[in-house]
Each structure stands twice: as C-alpha cells, then as structure tokens.
Amino acid sequence: MSVSRLRQAARESVAGLPSAFWWLWASTLVNRLGAFVATFMTLYLTLDRGYSASFAGLVVALHGLGGVISSLVAGVMTDRLGRRPTMLAANVSTAFSVALLGFMEHPAAIAAVALLVGMTSNASRPAVSAMMADIVRPEDRVRAFALNYWAINLGFAISAAVAGLVAEYSYLAGFLGEAALTLLCAVLVFAKLPESRPVRNAAQEEAAGPEVGLGDVLRDGRFMGVVGLSFLISLIFTQGSVGLPAAMGAAGFSPGDYGLVVAVNGVLIVALQIPVTRFIEHRDPQKLLVISALLAGYGFAMTAFAGPLWAYALTVAVWTLAEIVNSPTQMGLVARLSPVHGRGRYQGMYTMSWAVAALVAPLMAGFVIDRLGAAWLWGATGVLGTVAAAGYWLLMRGLSEGDAGRVAAGSGGPGSAAAPTAVAASAEA
C-alpha cells in the first residue's frame, strides 16, 4: 500500500467523530499511561515489601472484588448523577487512594486500601462507555470503541515499560506518578467534557415510563445473555496473564521469555486495531462475534501443543486477533442494546462481567493446572470458546429475527425517549 493510501486510510479512520470524543479518548490515554498499581502490585508486595505470594494473591483478589462492587454502583451513578460527575468522582478518588496505598505498611491497611483502589479505579468505566454511546453516532460506534480500546493498549504498553524502570528506582514514585496522571485525567474531564446524559422532557417522561432500574437490566434476557457471553470470553482472555505465565514457568521458561511472548499481544493491538476495525466496521456482527469467540478459544487451546518460544508467540497472535475483533464489536452491541436513559446501569452490568471474570480466572487456572495439568486448562478454553460462539450465534439470530431493523440503527441518542427495556430502545434520529 502506498504512503498516500495509508494517509487516506488514517484520515478515514478518525474522520466524522465529534471533538468531545477525542477529549474522552485523550482522557482514556492519560489514565492508562498511569496504570502502575494493577501491573506491579504482585511484584511490589513480594519483592519490595517481602510479603508471601499468598498474601499478594489475596490483595490482588481484593482489588478485583472492589471492581465488582463498584461496577453496579458506578452504573447507577452514571444514570442518576451524570457521566461527567461520575468520572470526576472516580478519578479524584482513585488518585487519592493510589497515593495512599503507596504509604501503607500494615498488611491489613494494604489490603483495605487495595480494595478501595479497585473500587475507585473501576468506577469510571460505565460512565466512559455511556458517554461514548451518547456522543457518537450509531454507525460510528464500533470505530469509536476500537479507537478507545487502541488508546487503552497504547497507554498500557508505554506505562508498563516506563513503570518498570520507575519501579527499579522507587515503587512509591510509581504510585505517586499514577496518582498525578489520574488527577490530570480528572482535569481533562472537568475542563473539556460537557455532560452528555440525555434529558427527557415531560412528554418523553410520560412516553418512556418509569426509570430503568437494575431489576430491569436483570430481566432483559437478551442483554444478560451478552453479559454471560462476555464473562466466558473474559475468562478466556484473562488466561493470557494468569494461566499462560504459570504454564510457561512450569515448562521451564523464564519470566523474560513470558514477557517477550505476551508483548506480541500489545504490539499487534497497537499495529492492527485500527486497520482491522476499518475492515470489519460494517460487517455482520453475528459472524464477527462467532469467529472471534472461536479464535479466542482455540488460540489458547493451541498452547497445549506449543513447544518452542515462537510457538507460544504464535498462539498469542491468534487470540490477539480475536481480541481485536471481539472488543469493539461486543461494545457496539452493548451500546445498541442499552436504552438511552439506562446506559449507565447497562454498562455497569457489562463491566461487572469482566470484573467477576478477573476474580474467577485465577482460581480456575490454579485449580486446573495443579490438579489436572496445563493441557486441561487449554482444552477448557477451547470448550469455552465453542460455547461462546454458539451463544453469540443464537443470541444474534434471535436479534435479527426480532428487532433487527430497530437495533441495527442503534439505541436512541440524546433527547430521544427511553424505552423500558433494551430491545425496545428508540432509534436515534
């Protein structure tokens, strides 16, 4: 491809998105540039503070539990208080709690503050996703979610490298650096992002009925099906940071070998997320979700047959392609199924599926590897991928047979009437 074609493709990838999206994108990038605690928590506790691996595992689990708790609470806040206030509260409280964690010394205090950090750092996600669905046209949402996901991975790739160097000098500097960048994210939100929560007038209030509650989300069978499938997919992908290092260590590889292999994931996402999204943007989401589930499941299942280091890298390349396709497509589906005035609660429930998987995946990997062996874990990922693919096929088939025309147009935009359930969401003008 010529340079001019590449420039044209780049312009088309970013064209047509509102300025508010790019400020939201910038805040995401800044936030992820400061991702120190989640990456280095285990090393900090075991190497710097001298705690046992069991205690480190407990603290990491509490951090994940905080994310589970805050997902639903933040979803309700997003709908009731607004997207912008929720993001501001989440970022400011995250900055405070992360800085506080760096000064904690007693084990109980470390565990308690780690729980608080997990709650605050996860609280902005429903608001970010809801605002993105508010301000971006339905036909551009897959591209917008892909660009945001690209920012997340770019920020993480840079932060992991820089934070590793910082950790060699001072872990406290890493905690304070994350706090500073999170505060900068809050400044961006405060200065540049207007509130996007749709406001209903009296006629729309009467037409839309009562406010969407968490009970309505739980009773929305199709959406909860997406949440369940998201949980299965996240169980698979989380094995890249849980099961894969354990299996490679048992096979005699060093931490450096694992670092090289898993780096393939970040490099490919940064290099391929935008061009792949351009290719899939207007294609059948049912096929994309089915294919990505199979690629994820069997990409990890291939690990059972990996021997040399390059073979492990090849398996990472396969499931990374699945991740590139699945993430924006599934986020677009969540946005389409969420009623306008219930987006925060719906996004909170979706976020919780990943948080719960982050708790379950380490337990699953440890139990299977210790009792049965790593090959059984990789076989289980193949089964999970197959089940998820079948689930996506059935769920999307029902969608296309029922509300395809209405949902394909996307959920209602700002100012439109909210529907009492996701599948009855109004089409955006």
DSSP one-letter string for 239-262: TTTTHHHHHHHHTT--HHHHHHHH
Helix (H, G, I), strand (E, B) or coil at 69: helix
The residue whose two tokens read 């909860």 is: 224
Instruction: Please name the helix (run of DSSP H) or strand (run of DSSP E) that holds residue 200, with its range, or none.
Output: none
Residue 60, pLDDT above cutoff 60: yes
Residues 262 and 139 in one domain: no
Band of pLDDT at residue 23, cut at 50, 70 and 90: very high
Q: State how far the Cα of 163 lies from the Cα of 169, in Å rounded to an integer.
A: 10
Contacts of 54 by beta carbon, 8 Å cutoff, 6+ apart: none
Band of pLDDT at residue 425, cut at 50, 70 and 90: very low
Band of pLDDT at residue 405, cut at 50, 70 and 90: very low
Residues 372 and 264 in one domain: yes
Q: State how far the Cα of 143 lies from the Cα of 283, in Å rounded to an integer.
A: 12
Report the range of poorest mean pLDDT among 135-144, 157-166, 217-226, 288-297.
157-166
pLDDT of residue 224: 92
Q: Residue 126: what residue type? A: P
Residues 129 and 94 in one domain: yes
Domain presence at residue 117:
yes
Domain presence at residue 28:
yes
Domain that holds residue 147: 18-193
pLDDT of residue 9: 60
Q: Compute how many other C-beta atoms are within 10 angstroms of the C-beta atom of residue 284.
A: 12
Residues 333 and 369 in one domain: yes
Residues 132 and 165 in one domain: yes
Band of pLDDT at residue 407, cut at 50, 70 and 90: very low
Instruction: Please name the helix (run of DSSP H) or strand (run of DSSP E) that holds residue 310, with its range, or none.
Output: helix 309-337
Residues 160 and 228 in one domain: no
Residues 110 and 246 in one domain: no
Residues 244 and 358 in one domain: yes
Q: Domain with 74 in it: what CATH number?
A: 1.20.1250.20
To 10 degrees, what angle do helices 243-250 and 255-280 make?
A: 140
Residues 154 and 244 in one domain: no
Residues 239 and 95 in one domain: no
Residues 274 and 149 in one domain: no
Is the CA virtual torsion 97, 27, 71, 388 positive or negative? negative
The residue from 159, 193, 227 where one domain ends is 193
Domain presence at residue 199:
no
Band of pLDDT at residue 7, cut at 50, 70 and 90: low
Residues 176 and 235 in one domain: no
Domain presence at residue 9:
no
pLDDT of residue 21: 92
Domain presence at residue 175:
yes
Q: State how far the Cα of 348 lies from the Cα of 179, in Å rounded to an integer.
A: 24
Long-range contacts at 150-153 (CB < 8 A, ≥ 24 apart): 150/269, 150/270, 150/273, 150/274, 151/25, 151/28, 151/29, 151/32, 152/28, 152/29, 152/32, 153/32, 153/266, 153/269, 153/270, 153/273
